[in-house]
Protein backbone atom coordinates (compact mmCIF):
# COMPACT_ATOMS: atom_id res chain seq x y z
CA UNK A 1 0.00 0.00 0.00
CA UNK A 2 2.86 2.33 0.78
CA UNK A 3 4.40 1.71 -2.66
CA UNK A 4 1.14 2.62 -4.39
CA UNK A 5 0.89 5.87 -2.44
CA UNK A 6 4.46 6.82 -3.29
CA UNK A 7 3.86 5.98 -6.96
CA UNK A 8 0.81 8.29 -6.95
CA UNK A 9 2.88 11.08 -5.44
CA UNK A 10 5.76 10.65 -7.90
CA UNK A 11 3.67 10.39 -11.06
CA UNK A 12 4.28 13.20 -13.59
CA UNK A 13 0.53 13.70 -14.18
CA UNK A 14 -1.92 14.29 -11.33
CA UNK A 15 -3.90 11.11 -10.70
CA UNK A 16 -7.34 12.80 -10.83
CA UNK A 17 -6.55 14.09 -14.32
CA UNK A 18 -5.56 10.62 -15.51
CA UNK A 19 -8.68 9.06 -13.97
CA UNK A 20 -10.95 11.74 -15.46
CA UNK A 21 -9.44 11.12 -18.89
CA UNK A 22 -9.93 7.36 -18.46
CA UNK A 23 -13.57 7.96 -17.50
CA UNK A 24 -14.18 10.04 -20.61
CA UNK A 25 -12.38 7.48 -22.78
CA UNK A 26 -14.44 4.61 -21.34
CA UNK A 27 -17.63 6.60 -21.93
CA UNK A 28 -16.64 7.35 -25.51
CA UNK A 29 -15.89 3.69 -26.20
CA UNK A 30 -19.24 2.72 -24.68
CA UNK A 31 -21.03 5.27 -26.88
CA UNK A 32 -19.52 3.79 -30.03
CA UNK A 33 -21.61 0.65 -29.59
CA UNK A 34 -25.13 2.08 -29.47
CA UNK A 35 -27.61 4.58 -30.85
CA UNK A 36 -26.97 8.01 -29.37
CA UNK A 37 -29.41 10.64 -28.22
CA UNK A 38 -28.44 13.61 -26.06
CA UNK A 39 -29.92 11.87 -23.02
CA UNK A 40 -27.96 8.66 -23.65
CA UNK A 41 -24.70 10.52 -24.24
CA UNK A 42 -25.02 12.50 -21.01
CA UNK A 43 -26.15 9.45 -19.01
CA UNK A 44 -23.33 7.25 -20.32
CA UNK A 45 -20.60 9.86 -19.84
CA UNK A 46 -21.79 10.65 -16.32
CA UNK A 47 -21.96 6.96 -15.38
CA UNK A 48 -18.41 6.31 -16.56
CA UNK A 49 -17.13 9.53 -15.01
CA UNK A 50 -18.53 8.47 -11.63
CA UNK A 51 -17.37 4.86 -12.01
CA UNK A 52 -13.87 5.38 -13.41
CA UNK A 53 -13.09 9.01 -12.63
CA UNK A 54 -14.52 10.18 -9.32
CA UNK A 55 -14.75 7.00 -7.22
CA UNK A 56 -11.13 5.84 -7.74
CA UNK A 57 -9.88 9.40 -7.34
CA UNK A 58 -11.54 9.71 -3.93
CA UNK A 59 -10.27 6.25 -2.96
CA UNK A 60 -6.74 7.36 -3.93
CA UNK A 61 -7.20 10.45 -1.76
CA UNK A 62 -8.10 8.19 1.16
CA UNK A 63 -5.01 6.09 0.53
CA UNK A 64 -2.77 9.13 0.42
CA UNK A 65 -4.35 10.60 3.55
CA UNK A 66 -3.72 7.40 5.55
CA UNK A 67 -0.15 6.91 4.34
CA UNK A 68 1.08 10.50 4.17
CA UNK A 69 -1.38 13.08 5.59
CA UNK A 70 0.74 16.04 4.52
CA UNK A 71 0.63 14.96 0.85
CA UNK A 72 -2.73 16.58 0.14
CA UNK A 73 -2.59 19.34 2.78
CA UNK A 74 -6.06 18.45 4.00
CA UNK A 75 -7.03 18.96 7.63
CA UNK A 76 -8.18 16.02 9.74
CA UNK A 77 -6.24 13.17 8.09
CA UNK A 78 -8.03 10.04 9.37
CA UNK A 79 -11.46 11.65 9.39
CA UNK A 80 -10.99 12.99 5.86
CA UNK A 81 -9.79 9.55 4.72
CA UNK A 82 -12.92 7.92 6.11
CA UNK A 83 -15.05 10.56 4.40
CA UNK A 84 -13.23 9.92 1.11
CA UNK A 85 -13.97 6.19 1.35
CA UNK A 86 -17.65 6.89 2.00
CA UNK A 87 -17.85 9.35 -0.87
CA UNK A 88 -16.11 6.88 -3.21
CA UNK A 89 -18.71 4.24 -2.30
CA UNK A 90 -21.48 6.79 -2.90
CA UNK A 91 -20.03 7.54 -6.35
CA UNK A 92 -19.94 3.82 -7.17
CA UNK A 93 -23.57 3.42 -6.14
CA UNK A 94 -24.60 6.56 -8.01
CA UNK A 95 -23.11 5.24 -11.25
CA UNK A 96 -25.97 2.74 -11.36
CA UNK A 97 -28.58 4.77 -9.47
CA UNK A 98 -31.09 7.41 -10.41
CA UNK A 99 -30.66 11.13 -10.92
CA UNK A 100 -31.11 12.03 -7.25
CA UNK A 101 -28.38 9.62 -6.15
CA UNK A 102 -26.12 11.03 -8.86
CA UNK A 103 -26.86 14.55 -7.65
CA UNK A 104 -25.93 13.49 -4.12
CA UNK A 105 -22.68 11.93 -5.34
CA UNK A 106 -21.79 15.17 -7.13
CA UNK A 107 -22.75 17.51 -4.30
CA UNK A 108 -21.44 15.58 -1.28
CA UNK A 109 -17.67 15.85 -1.97
CA UNK A 110 -17.84 19.49 -3.07
CA UNK A 111 -17.47 21.19 0.36
CA UNK A 112 -14.57 18.97 1.37
CA UNK A 113 -12.78 19.48 -1.96
CA UNK A 114 -13.46 23.22 -1.86
CA UNK A 115 -11.97 23.45 1.63
CA UNK A 116 -8.92 21.51 0.47
CA UNK A 117 -8.66 23.43 -2.78
CA UNK A 118 -5.05 24.44 -2.28
CA UNK A 119 -3.68 21.45 -4.15
CA UNK A 120 -3.97 20.58 -7.82
CA UNK A 121 -5.73 17.20 -7.23
CA UNK A 122 -8.55 18.91 -5.34
CA UNK A 123 -8.97 21.50 -8.09
CA UNK A 124 -9.12 18.81 -10.76
CA UNK A 125 -11.69 16.87 -8.73
CA UNK A 126 -13.79 20.05 -8.37
CA UNK A 127 -13.63 20.36 -12.15
CA UNK A 128 -14.81 16.75 -12.42
CA UNK A 129 -17.75 17.57 -10.15
CA UNK A 130 -18.68 20.63 -12.22
CA UNK A 131 -18.47 18.59 -15.43
CA UNK A 132 -20.62 15.90 -13.81
CA UNK A 133 -23.18 18.51 -12.77
CA UNK A 134 -23.31 19.77 -16.35
CA UNK A 135 -23.84 16.20 -17.61
CA UNK A 136 -26.57 15.66 -15.01
CA UNK A 137 -28.32 18.86 -16.10
CA UNK A 138 -28.22 17.73 -19.73
CA UNK A 139 -29.42 14.26 -18.74
CA UNK A 140 -32.42 15.54 -16.80
CA UNK A 141 -33.36 18.20 -19.36
CA UNK A 142 -33.31 15.74 -22.27
CA UNK A 143 -35.03 12.87 -20.47
CA UNK A 144 -37.98 11.58 -22.51
CA UNK A 145 -41.22 12.49 -20.83
CA UNK A 146 -44.12 10.09 -21.08
CA UNK A 147 -47.63 11.13 -20.30
CA UNK A 148 -49.45 9.37 -17.50
CA UNK A 149 -52.50 9.25 -19.72
CA UNK A 150 -50.64 7.39 -22.45
CA UNK A 151 -50.58 4.26 -20.28
CA UNK A 152 -54.21 4.34 -19.24
CA UNK A 153 -57.37 3.89 -21.22
CA UNK A 154 -59.86 6.66 -20.78
* Ranges of each domain in the chain: 2-142
Q: What is the mean pLDDT of the chain?
A: 82
Map residue 103 onto helix, strand or coil: helix
151 Cβ contact list (under 8 Å, min separation 6): none
pTM: 0.79
pLDDT above 60: residue 154:
no
Instruction: State the Cα–Cα distance between residues 61 and 47, nearest whole angstrom.
Output: 20
Which of the residue ranges 6-15, 31-40, 92-101, 122-131 has the most confident prediction, judged by mean pLDDT?
A: 92-101
Amino acid sequence: MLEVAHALLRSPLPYPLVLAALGLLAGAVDLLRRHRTAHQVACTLLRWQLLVGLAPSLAADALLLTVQPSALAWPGGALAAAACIGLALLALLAAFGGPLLRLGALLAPAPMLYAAGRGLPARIQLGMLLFGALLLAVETSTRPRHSVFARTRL
